[in-house]
Amino acid sequence: MNSQHEFVLRTVEERDIHFIRLWFTDILGALKSVVISPSELESAFEEGVGFDGSSVEGLTRISESDTIALPDPSTFQILPFDKDDPQLQSARMFCDIVQPDGQASLVDPRQILRRQVAEAAADGFTVKASPEIEFFLVKEIKDSGKLKPTDNGGYFDQASQNTAPRFRSYAMLALEEMGIATEMSHHETAPGQQEIDLRHADLLTMADHIMTFRFVIKRVATEQGIRATFMPKPFQEYSGNGMHTHLSLFEGEVNAFHDPDDEFALSATAKQFIAGILEHSHEMSAVVNQWTNSYKRLIFGNEAPGSATWGVSNRSALVRVPTYRLSKPESRRVEIRSVDALMNPYLGYSAILAAGLKGIREGYELGDPAEDDVQQLTRRERRAMGYRDLPSSLDQALRIFERSEFMAEVLGEHVFEFFLRSKWDEWHQYQEQITAVELRNNLDF
């Protein structure tokens, strides 16, 4: 029992917490929860909480079903809900999934990211991340099942009705109560679309923050009688939900991406990191854009990259180098713009970090930055300029993914195989459906 364990036990008693929610995710990024009473907490710290891992997507086979959730006391936070009913006061902790012998599970998404963070540390780097998370606030039209945005606002609009600004205020307060620091919030380009940016944190902590963020946003929306969705593209006529992520590597207190003598204040390390992401972008597309709906955002959404390019202040590129405060070393970073808001942050960030580190280790060379609006170029123009188009469907992404030794190494054999099977099932279900477009075009032809 260490000081973190003792702090949690003492806080639970002093704050009269009645329920402890132990959180973890499955391979696809769905949040799972086991609830224990405070009396079981000390035992959970020492021995973990056993559960049937074969019942959770991809965790174990039926013959290896005994699985243990080991709570991480550093993630303890009291949930900022049910304050009007003290009997329902709850706290949560993220868990590491371990085997009965105490060994870390190779199929726990959180452990996969922890492994990549350790790889970065072995190379002398710590990783900082800051995502810009987009989502829609919607109302469900009774009897039709259709969704309608809660407002008609646009980019940075100050809404004339209270729903959007009040919602963001409540959400930011709830996030801050859970130790998740926010930088800013605003209305995005589409009606009902919001964005909240999180202050940078180490990569594993940020993945935990993103899972908490989704839970908090949906809970706050429900309390206000509306609905929040992180679906990559819920509306045909509007832009989709991205999760542009700013990344930087630090060597101690020094930003390894900063070079004051470079035109863009970008170090050789940063350029190799970008080159690694571009080189492996097609292989990891199935993970950072894991849904059939993800590709509708990439193809038909505004400011969503369709090609493996990088650019300086270029919002049509996959990797953008922001030029704010070039002379400020700690601000030097790269922005990954292909990521959508429903990515499993543990697996997606594992792939992105591994690709960047591979670029550094093997000295990948970075080509010239894209200066055009890549989205406005024709396919022939893009090919002539050396830009490789990203997969345009989950089908294409999976065909590249299944041949990738790089992704198999990053995820591990079990996760790689399960993810592939699960996503092929999703694609085949998508293909089986008969759409309104098909009926309209073919029914009476």
pLDDT range class, residue 1, cuts 50, 70, 90: low
Q: What is the tens place of the pLDDT at every residue in 27-78?
A: 999 999 999 999 999 999 998 998 765 655 555 543 345 689 999 999 999 9
Phi, psi dihedrals of residue 19, rounded to the nearest 5°:
-135, 135
Tokens in use for 247?
Answer: 């990344």
Q: What is the tens place of the pLDDT at every residue in 108-124?
A: 999 999 999 999 999 99
Which pTM was predicted? 0.93
The whole-number pLDDT of residue 107 equals: 87
CA distance 122 to 116: 10
CA distance 26 to 108: 7
Whether the CB-CB separation of 49 and 68 falls below 8 Å is answered with yes
Whether residue 156 is predicted with pLDDT greater than 90 in this model: the reply is no
Whether residue 303 is predicted with pLDDT greater than 90 in this model: the reply is no
The domains of the chain, with CATH numbers, are: 3-105 (3.10.20.70), 115-437 (3.30.590.10)
Residue 193: strand, helix, or coil: strand
From 433, 22, 399, select the one nearest 208 (Cα to Cα).
22
CA distance 163 to 160: 9
CA distance 70 to 53: 13
The whole-number pLDDT of residue 17 equals: 94
Element (H, E) at 194: strand 193-198
- On the 0-12 / 13-18 / 19+ scale of CB atoms within 10 A, 301 is buried
- To the nearest 10 degrees (0 to 180), the angle between helices 345-361 and 109-122 is 20
For 198-207, what is the mean pLDDT?
A: 97
Which residue has 């309390």 as its token pair?
A: 223
Bridge partners of residue 126, in order along the sequence: 250
